[in-house]
Amino acid sequence: MSLSEQCTFRGTPYVTGAASATLLATDLELSFWGGVDPRTGEVIDRFHPLSGCFLKDTILAIPGGRGSCGGSVIMMELILNGLGPKGLIFARREEIITLGVIVAEELFDRTAAVVTLSPEDFREVLGWNGKTVHIQGDLVSNTPLEANTAIGAAKPSFDLNSYNIQLTETDRAMLRGASGEAATISLRIIIKMASMMGAQELIDICQAHVDGAWYGPGSVTFAQRLRDWGGKFQVPTTINSLNVDQKRWRALGINTEFGSACDELAKAFVDMGGKISFTCAPYLLETAPKLGDPIAWGESNAVIYANSVLGARTLKNPNMFEVLIALTGRAPKAGPYLDENRFASIWLRVTPPEDTDDSFWPILGYALGSIANTRIPVISGLEHLKPSKDNFKAFSAAFATSSSASMFHMVSLTPEAPTLEAVCAKGIVPEVLDVGWKELDAIWDEFNHGSEPREIDLISFGNPHFSYNEIKELSKLCLGRIKKKDVAVIVTCGRSQYGLASQAGYVGELEAFGVQFLQDTCWCSIEEPVIPKNTRAIMTNSGKYIHYGPGLTGRQFAFGSLEMCVNAACIGKTTGDPPSWLLKARSS
């Protein structure tokens, strides 16, 4: 089809609206969290083809989201700040970003049109990039559409009969207001999302981990409004990491207005019954769920770890959706809650290099996540490596960053995959792809921008939060060594793991070396002045932070193993050389 042809496509409108604007389009998924700045509307994912573009007053066409569950709150903040797109066009059902639009519409009467096209029609629309595009309800066109005054004239009413969801009498009573306004609004949104997911009923969940405590003006209003409407969590609920170390932010020089707002946001969740956990690694807590437990977790790395490593069951909940589920105790019976949606649809056959170290797992996770994309992979070839909980943590975080899948399986290593066939529908093995050192080498170069040597000013550990064992290992690597004076080393961790490591003496040993510990917060939220203003380059062992860090901080980045990071802390630079296992693979 030529660009001069007039063409109109019909799709599925998940948020009905009307919009006309210049199309900003790409065939690569985008994580709104860490990929878009809600204060400016700029795409800040420096690995993405739309990097540097602004979303304000555009119609954005992307296949879907990827990475962080926090994209929903960024979408909401963009709408409330007047910096978001007027409409969104997807190639598949996109729950995370769409939830942000639905919350903005339900709680704040602000919205954007959301339409999903068939993959074939979406590819045609990509050819309109830079041209004016029009959305009207379920229609997407490159020519003006006849205005429908019923679309966008007023906030749509909630018609329960239009949603084919089986509800219990308790659900119906909740919709009538029996449990308060917060529960009513929450259940309305849950029903809308359940319909979008194709669920026919709701299920009870046994615990939640809420990722809504990330600061933004809209986030504060969201949490406080639900609390003031009488919201109370109906199941045990832990709270994700905050933007600040709650006990020390004043001493760290954090702006008083910002720190106080973060405190108010956290207080709203505590007031609703949230536990003071403030960690992005809830699987390290004693309350971690067990095999088969239906839960509602936010935070992408935690979702992947829970579904894959623990064998619990949770949706890859958009940020804020797990809050709504916790307020009702009810979730759509869809996605990974169902056996048939936990089967693998691609087999990744890995040939790992010999003598790998801890840097192998985030590199592998990012590589396999990129390959799997939306598909749940079953991974073989790693059985002899016996990954630790921390290896799984690093893998899960990197996998969650580069993919939009809700889980993975590793043959004989994760609980649902004792064999390859066990995680294949009807035992039928899916498409197989081989992954070797060359694919891992490409990720190393991507992480390190061609493996250039550079001066290092800051070492970042703890994305996701460091465990007790990682703190212990770091202490061993630093023992008897001297940190370069002008290199900062900062570890983020949860209160529980910090307490254990402190009692064991590891925190004291590391502080003597020059390590600074931050609790409650995580690297995805840390800015100046915690990151010293004169910092030019940051080194990390995190596959998640090496992806998001450049856009979030504006600094140069380097990646390496735990030991490589400690070496850089002592000499003030990194050589840029790959780890020995990758060097050996290159030369073989």
The continuous run of DSSP H or E covering 114 comes out as: strand 113-116
Determine the Cα–Cα distance for residues 330 and 333; give it in Å rounded to an integer: 9
In the set 68, 277, 370, 542, the catalytic residue is 68
Determine the Cα–Cα distance for residues 137 and 145; give it in Å rounded to an integer: 10
Q: Which residues pair with 410 in a beta bridge?
A: 379
68 is catalytic: yes
Nearest by Cα to 408 from 435, 437, 442, 444 = 435
**What is the DSSP annotation of 308-323?**
III--B---PPTTHHH
- For tokens 């990071």, what's the residue? 565
Phi, psi of 445 (to 5 degrees): -65, -35
Nearest by Cα to 510 from 496, 524, 491 = 491
Determine the Cα–Cα distance for residues 338 and 358; give it in Å rounded to an integer: 33
Determine the Cα–Cα distance for residues 93 and 104; give it in Å rounded to an integer: 19
The token duo for 395 is: 């893998």
| Residue 177 CB neighbour total at 10 angstroms | 10
415: helix, strand or coil:
coil
**DSSP classification of residue 421:** G
**Secondary structure (H, E, C), 77-94:** HHHHHCCCCCEEEECCCC
Confirm if 41 and 82 have CB atoms less than 8 A apart. Answer: no
Q: Please report, for residues 54, 208, 213, 252, 521, the alpha-carbon distance to residue 256 in angstroms, rounded to integers and kept in the order given.
A: 30, 30, 18, 11, 16
Q: In what order do the strands lie in the sheet with 87-90?
A: 8-10, 139-141, 132-136, 18-25, 58-61, 87-90, 113-116, 12-15
Confirm if 203 and 330 have CB atoms less than 8 A apart. Answer: yes
Pairing of strands 58-61, 87-90: parallel
Q: Please report, for residues 95, 187, 343, 433, the alpha-carbon distance to residue 375 in angstroms, rounded to integers and kept in the order given.
A: 16, 29, 10, 13
The token duo for 116 is: 């999903």
- Catalytic residue numbers? 68
